[in-house]
Amino acid sequence: MEKFTRHVGLVAPIARNNVDTDAIIPKQFLKSIRRTGFGPYLFDEWRYLDRGEPGQDCAARPLNPEFVLNQPRYRGASILLTGKNFGCGSSREHAPWALLDYGVRALVGKSFADIFFNNCFKNGLLPIRLPQAEIDALFADVAARPGYRLMIDLEAQTVARPDGRAIPFEIEPYRKHCLIEGLDDIGLTLRHRDQIAEFEARRRLEQPWNFSR
């Protein structure tokens, strides 16, 4: 997993609540058995005017000029500003894979759906929750100022605005540690393999029906 320490990036606003994972990456692209290559299909139904199919050359497809990521001022955005409950719906990890493959490194929003939130951390994508008042102010600033960038400092747990004002955010220490170090959490868990085996042996003895096959 790629480390996340500090990131400065162009911000694009996705001004909707309840953006679901079907919108982030539609079902026809979930047939892939790979983790990469989903970027061209990110927000496929909003981004293009035709119906997308896996393996298609997206460079030749008609873009929806209305969609925010197609507007020249947001080209190259790596931070998405979102509303409430972003990533709701399906557990598909293809959603964070598509965001990362497109070039997104962080999401700043009011709230995120639980499974999606978890999936982001497993892939080095940082979802940041901020109070509604801060989110509203950021939406207004992004709209008013083309080229609006934020600086995210994970170590300091701050999102710094161009005027220098830093907004603090919360993150669980374990998740922060894994992101900063780019750690594979399976490796970390397997350091406790004896403890797991011991737990399992006891459970097998006490509740053997959970192990019947």
Comparison of 144 and 213: residue with beta carbon closer to another protein? 213
DSSP SS3 for 10: strand
Stretch that binds another protein, among 18-26, 62-70, 98-106, 155-163 (CB under 8 A): 18-26
Stretch that binds another protein, among 9-17, 56-64, 141-149, 152-160 (CB under 8 A): 9-17
Burial class (CB in 10 A: 0-12, 13-18, 19+), 134: middle
* 91 binds another protein per the rule CB under 8 A: yes
* 213 binds another protein per the rule CB under 8 A: yes
* 172 binds another protein per the rule CB under 8 A: yes
CB of 127 to another protein, least distance (A): 13
Quick one: which H or E segment has residue 176?
helix 173-181
| Sequence-distant (≥ 6) Cβ neighbours of residue 193 within 8 angstroms | none
CA distance linking residue 209 with residue 213, whole number of Å: 9
Strands 158-160 and 149-153: antiparallel
Comparison of 75 and 185: residue with beta carbon closer to another protein? 185
CA distance linking residue 150 with residue 2, whole number of Å: 20
Stretch that binds another protein, among 2-10, 33-41, 71-79, 155-163 (CB under 8 A): 33-41
In whole angstroms, how far apart are CA 177 and each of 60, 88, 100? 42, 26, 20
For another protein, the binding residues (CB under 8 A) are 15-18, 20, 22-23, 26-28, 30-35, 45, 51, 54-55, 83-85, 88-93, 96, 111, 113-115, 118-119, 122-123, 172-175, 184-186, 189-190, 192-193, 195-196, 199-200, 203, 207-213
